[in-house]
Amino acid sequence: MKVLLAHTPQMRRDYYGERSLTGLRAVADVSLHEGDDALDAAALVAAAADVDIIVADRMTPGPGEIFPRLPKLRAFVRCAVDIRNIDVAAASTAGVLVTQASAGFVQSVAELALGFMVDLSRGVSRATADYRAGRAPEVVMGRQLAGSTIGIIGYGSIGRYLAGIAKVLGMNVLVADPFVMPDDAAIEHVPLDDLLARADYVVCLAIANAATENLIGQAALARMQTHAFFINLSRGNLVDDVALAAALREGRIAGAAIDVGRAPDQMPTPELAKLHNVIATPHIGGLTPQAIEHQSSETVRQVAKIIAGEIPVGAVNAEHWTRRPKP
């Protein structure tokens, strides 16, 4: 079968890797997207006209219009957890299977959260920037993590892993999640408002959906302590950027660290990232070799299953898969 790997060359290098590409070529006839820009709907239809499977990065959308225009297409395989820009309903109507990767970036993102907390507390980035600019850094009293309180919004895989690290560091751990109850007596399950009012570090790891749009807005930020720090490692649409910028400028919270935002490719917006009390990174929470290979190698296994006519782990609409090959 023919497979289109829709990643641009840069995304293919950073988010797929040679080992997984070699694995994909071992199970299918692979064509590569060689342009510098992500494929839009028209370009994707043209590039995938004769392929059976599309393997797409998070930058390549799967809009509903493409599926009836690609009668050979059997599956749309996403090399990421986020499938919000894939029209799963339209794919199901056309009988096309949609898959997603599992979260192989748990440790990577949790470690970045830890780094953010240390940096926010001790002014590492600020002092470094001052020294490099030839300025004398301001000497500011820091906060140690031990004895401080972390509030984790969303107790999924990353939240659980981060809570474990925080406990080892001697932090008090609060969790707000309406759907999950921690089974660890050392972790306190609290309403979101309570968490916001008590935490020294508020770490947003909630799922991004319609219900969590602007979860952290003016009202939520007003509940936080003035010395508290906000960290977002989930998705930009959980945060009202205007409200967060106002809280930071007015000193109503001490600072923020963001790896995600509302800019293209889910990156922080420059307007927010440039604030003096913000640490911003360009959506690199899951950008480690281990995390990337976890997801890219998973797509290889999914493609092999699809070619064999079997339902792979990660399928989200298997009951609608009418273009399934015969085993």
Residue 111 lies in a domain: yes
pLDDT for position 87: 98
Distance of CA 112 to the CA centre of its chain: 12
Same domain, 76 and 143: no
Residue 326 lies in a domain: no
Same domain, 120 and 255: yes
Same domain, 94 and 121: no
Same domain, 90 and 182: no
Number of domains in the chain: 2
Q: Which domain holds residue 304?
A: 2-103+289-320
Q: 252-256: long-range contacts (C-beta < 8 A, 24 or more apart)?
A: 252/221, 252/222, 252/224, 252/226, 253/221, 253/224, 253/225, 253/226, 253/228, 253/229, 254/120, 254/226, 254/227, 254/228, 254/229, 255/120, 255/229, 255/230, 255/279, 256/120, 256/229, 256/230, 256/231, 256/232
| 254, 229 Cβ separation under 8 angstroms | yes
Alpha-carbon dihedral angle through residues 306, 74, 208, 39, given to the nearest 10 degrees:
120
Same domain, 208 and 168: yes
Same domain, 121 and 215: yes
pTM over 0.85: yes
Cα-Cα end-to-end distance for the chain: 13
Series of mean pLDDT values for 10-residue runs along the chain (327 residues): 97 94 98 96 97 96 97 97 95 98 94 98 95 95 97 97 97 97 95 98 94 96 98 96 98 98 94 96 94 96 98 98 92
Please name the helix (run of DSSP H) or strand (run of DSSP E) that holds residue 30, with its range, or none.
Answer: strand 29-32
Please name the helix (run of DSSP H) or strand (run of DSSP E) that holds residue 293, with its range, or none.
Answer: helix 289-307
Output the CA torsion sign for 173, 179, 182, 188: positive
pLDDT for position 239: 97
Residue 248 lies in a domain: yes
Same domain, 258 and 116: yes
pLDDT for position 232: 98
Same domain, 37 and 89: yes
Same domain, 218 and 309: no
Residue 327 lies in a domain: no
pLDDT for position 247: 98
Structure tokens, 88: 């799963």
Residue 210 lies in a domain: yes
In angstroms, rounded to a whole number, what is the distance separating the alpha carbons of residues 2 and 10?
Answer: 22
pLDDT for position 327: 76
Same domain, 25 and 65: yes
Residue 230 lies in a domain: yes
Tracing tokens 């930071």 back to the chain, one arrives at 248
pLDDT for position 159: 97
Residue 228 lies in a domain: yes
Query: Which residue type is seen at 36?
Result: D
Residue 118 lies in a domain: yes
Same domain, 306 and 157: no
Same domain, 263 and 305: no
CATH of the domain at 299: 3.40.50.720
